Structure 1
Amino acid sequence: MDQTQKGILGQPGPIPTTQPKKKRTSVMSFFSKVSWTLRFQKQESLKNVFSILAERAQDPNAKKRHMAMRGLGTMACETPDKVRKYKKIVLDLLVHGLYDPVSAEVIHESLKTLTIILGKIQGKSLGSFFVDITLQTRTLLDDENDNLRYSAFVLFGQLAAFAGRKWKTFFTSQVKQTQDSLLIHLQDRNPQVAKACKTTFRACSPYLKERKETGFQTEEDQRNRKLCRQLSCHHPELLLFFYANKIL
């Protein structure tokens, strides 16, 4: 092993103080990535890695909690098969991240990482995590933070594909309660959020289907008329989509 490899595996040498801040940051990032790759090449125990991330995920320092969520996302992207093995541990950490009491960055990173991981595992065997993730994600759809709203809509739309039979009734009730938020954010001040909302609206559309057995006007009928009016004014293409698929 040459001196460069030894330096990477050990503690990196001191960075000259004359080095610009951005340059120092990029160098540290480089060493971090190389070290991470070498660790997996050596097949270091993932349990130890998860143990470190779990500890940092509960650290009083919000930046460390944020980096723990980001680390889980990196692992999900680079080693999905290994992460799948520790799915329950990962999901538990990320759900706790969704409920972070003070840091929007931790919540945002948790949303993004959950989107990655749910895609990797195709929403299989989520168990009660599905309920926790859905409930908290729904509350973030109206958050003042644009990034949180955007990522929440992306994740909520993904959850629509993974509800399955087990959670169909539950998710249907959540979509019904979210209908006003979906309508409002079709006109969101942030174009990216509005676009994500539109995509999520389509994904959730099967859960908006009327039940034909009721023969009298209900609150749901009134909500559907409101939905039709708003869509006809602002998003006629969505209304046509709903009619074509016999949703309204």
Structure 2
Amino acid sequence: MDQMEKGTLGQPLPMATTQPERKRTSVMSFLSKVSWKLKFQKRESLKNAFSILAEKARDPNDKKRHMAMRGLGTMACETPDKVRKYKKVVLDLLVHGLYDPVSTEVIHESMKTLTIILGKIQGKSLGSFFVDITLQTRTLLDDENDHLRYSAFILFGQLAAFAGRKWKKFFTSQVKQTQDSLLIHLQDRDPHVATACKTTFRACSPYLKERKENSFQSEEEQRNLKLCRQLSHYHPELLQFLYANKIL
């Protein structure tokens, strides 16, 4: 009765914390700790932090490897300037995670973090990492895991913008080998993957353009190539139908 009276006087009764609330509290606590550490590390050297993440990224425990990849993504968002400074170290860790032989979670987190970091550095000075990232990402476009396919299409489309002159020939060959996957997944069972695929298809369409040395092709072939380019940009679904039914 006393408790009820207190409640009626504007002092609400204590309520039991539900399980989802406890989870949210623990997540917020974790994120606040990470944020505090990063703010501290902004004033101090990040060398120790990278050393720890490098160690965890190659740990036998896949959960620790997963958290290391996520930690690198957090650093990329919170301290982009510092990440640029340690770019080669970070890229080496992420490419290593991209080829993880056991955990799809590690691979997925590596792709997401690579997407963040490539955006921060605008794909500059990737060196041979560009080849490693492209080759592995291309193999994941047809993965059974919806999340992996989605992240792979996002990353592959981003790579199209950063190929530059140095890797243009290489990336062109990769796009041509990937053309079937791009066409098939325009109608992926997962609508998010299908949308990502359409965006990537448009980003990769310049690499499918007719090259000057192919000028000996017949007028009909040239018309078909021009039509394919236009359809890939404006109506990729129709292009997929024509391709599947061998009309083009």
TM-score (norm. length: structure 1): 0.79
CA–CA separation in structure 2 for the residues paired with 1:157 and 1:127: 18
Whether 2:55 is the aligned partner of 1:55: answer yes
Q: Which residue of 1 aligns with 2:139?
A: 139
Q: Residues 141 and 149 of structure 1 are in contact (CA less than 8 Å); yes or no, is this contact kept in structure 2?
A: yes
* Distance change in 2, residues 1:41/1:190 (3 Å): closer
Structure 2 unaligned segments of length 5 or more: list them: 1-15, 242-247
2:195 alignment partner in structure 1: 195
Say what the alpha-carbon RMSD is for the aligned residues. 3.0
Q: Which residue is 2:244 aligned to?
A: none
Distance 1:74 1:142, change over 3 A: same
Q: Provide the C-alpha distance between the structure 1 equivalents of 2:235 and 2:32, rounded to a whole number of angstroms.
A: 53
> Higher Cα Rg: structure 1 or 2?
2
Q: Contact between 2:56 and 2:68, CA under 8 Å: does it hold in 1?
A: yes
Gaps of 5+ in 1: 1-17, 240-247
Distance 2:66 2:27 in 1: 16
Q: Which of 38, 50, 55 is the matching residue for 1:40? A: 38
Specify whether residues 19 and 226 from structure 1 end up closer, same or farther in structure 2 by C-alpha distance, changes over 3 A only.
same
Partner of 1:170: helix, strand, or coil? helix
Tell me the percent identity.
73
Q: Which residue of 2 aligns with 1:204?
A: 204
Alpha-carbon deviation of 1:171? 0.5
CA distance in 1, matches of 2:195, 2:54: 34
Distance 1:151 1:54 in 2: 23
What does 1:39-188 align with in structure 2 at a 5 Å threshold?
39-42=37-40, 43-188=43-188
Distance in 1 (CA, whole Å) between partners of 2:240 and 2:143 is 24
Q: Counterpart of 1:54 in structure 2: which amino acid?
A: A
Which residue in the other structure is 1:12 paired with?
none
Q: Distance in 1 between matches of 2:178 and 2:162?
A: 17
User: How many residue pairs were aligned?
Assistant: 219
- State the alpha-carbon separation in 2 of the partners of residues 226 and 89 from structure 1: 44
